[in-house]
Amino acid sequence: MTFTISANGYSISLDSKESGADIDFISHAHTDHMGAARSSASVLSSRETSYLIEKTYGIKVNACKDMPEGVKLLDAGHMLGSSQLSVTDNETCSRIVYTGDYLLQRSRVANPIAIEDADTVIIDSTYPDPKIEFEDREEVERSIQLWARTKLKAGTLLFGAYTLGKSQELVAILNEIGIEPIMSKKLAMATDAYNDLGMGLRYQSVYSEDFNRSLISENEVGIVESNSLEKVATMLSGLNGRRVYTAVATGFAAIFKFNTDVQFQLSDHADFRQCMEYIERSKAKRVFTRGGGAKALAATLRRRGYEAEVYGASTALSSNLVRTDASKASGGD
Ligand SMILES: [Zn+2]
């Protein structure tokens, strides 16, 4: 078995479908973490995550009946319902926490992260580079609001954003300055699901499939999926003859140059600085890294004196902190 934690007589898979796992943990409702959603007979996730998966992707998850012994879900701060998994072994009292995607800065549409003491942490490593430091979130939000206020006088504004999480954050940021954006059908559906869970987000209307002219008679602010931003911008400028200003809001804006008029560094992930803060606050003695930058992050942490290695396909953790079928991760690079 891979990507699992074993404790108190059961094994839990971590954001992936693993043969032999008794329970499948889904940390949040992003598709790259939902591998077990369709086929699992016993899913462990927050109530919000199950709801968002069902409403947005039409997948009914089979929730596990009871919270397994020694297990606790902790808020991860990444998106609505995002959770970390905390597993404490009954006999040794040692604790492993798996973060999933997490954020230490405060998001408008997620509960703030909870960090508790742990012996071992399996930490997400989306942004492993110490040189990447995200701007202060409140400043980024103010920049978005200023840009929207100013440019709206000159034309139509169009944001590209992820379906769940980022789109709703943008709505909240725009709502604060009195703008109720128009959304694509898919994003509107996701926003409705957020509202069902008490978010109170306001959007004005939905871009219909044929881009009904009546919706675009005035300058407005729209939000569409990132991958259709260019197409929709072209269609809108063709229809209303106005200038369409495009924007993306993503952590990748700290790394890449997007083909848009403006890009905002609005990330739902921790950067390296936040990662270090997490590890310090958790008092973890041992760190496993997981995700795209896992190797780089583990190497950087080792250089800084931490016991850190990649949580790989051959790393099954049991709660007494012994890797049951481990082969040593590549070290020293
Ligand atoms: Zn995510």
Domains of the chain: 4-131+269-318 (3.60.15.10), 137-264 (3.40.50.12650)
Distance of CA 54 to the CA centre of its chain: 17
- Report the distance separating Cα 44 and Cα 36, nearest Å: 10
Q: What is the pLDDT of residue 179?
A: 93
Answer yes or no: is pLDDT of 296 > 50: yes
Q: What is the mean pLDDT of the chain?
A: 89
Distance 108 CA to ligand 1 centre (A): 16
Distance 210 CA to ligand 1 centre (A): 31
Answer yes or no: is pLDDT of 3 > 90: no
Distance 90 CA to ligand 1 centre (A): 30
Answer yes or no: is pLDDT of 316 > 90: no
Q: Residue 328: pLDDT band by 50, 70, 90 thresholds?
A: very low
**pLDDT for 217-256, tens place per residue?**
567 899 999 999 999 888 888 877 779 999 999 999 999 9
Distance 79 CA to ligand 1 centre (A): 7
Q: Tokens representing 331?
A: 């070290």
Tell me which residues have their CB within 5 A of the ion that is ligand 1.
30, 101
Q: What is the pLDDT of residue 333?
A: 32
- Report the distance separating Cα 33 and Cα 35, nearest Å: 6
Q: Residue 315: pLDDT band by 50, 70, 90 thresholds?
A: low
Q: Residue 322: pLDDT band by 50, 70, 90 thresholds?
A: very low
**pLDDT for 132-172, tens place per residue?**
999 999 999 999 999 999 999 899 999 999 999 999 999 99
- Smallest CA-to-CA distance from 62 within 80, 86, 39 is with 39
- Smallest CA-to-CA distance from 50 within 32, 63, 31 is with 63
- For residues 50 and 215, the model is more confident at 50
Beta bridge partners of 207: 184
Q: What is the pLDDT of residue 20?
A: 84
* E strand or H helix at 186: helix 185-196
Q: What angle do CA 51, 30, 186 make, to 5 degrees?
A: 70
Q: Tokens representing 217?
A: 């008679």
- Report the distance separating Cα 26 and Cα 40, nearest Å: 10
**pLDDT for 22-81, tens place per residue?**
999 999 999 999 999 999 999 999 999 999 999 999 999 999 988 999 999 999 999 999
Pair type for strands 83-88 and 71-75: antiparallel
Q: What is the pLDDT of residue 245?
A: 95
Q: Match 């993306």 to its residue by tokens.
A: 248
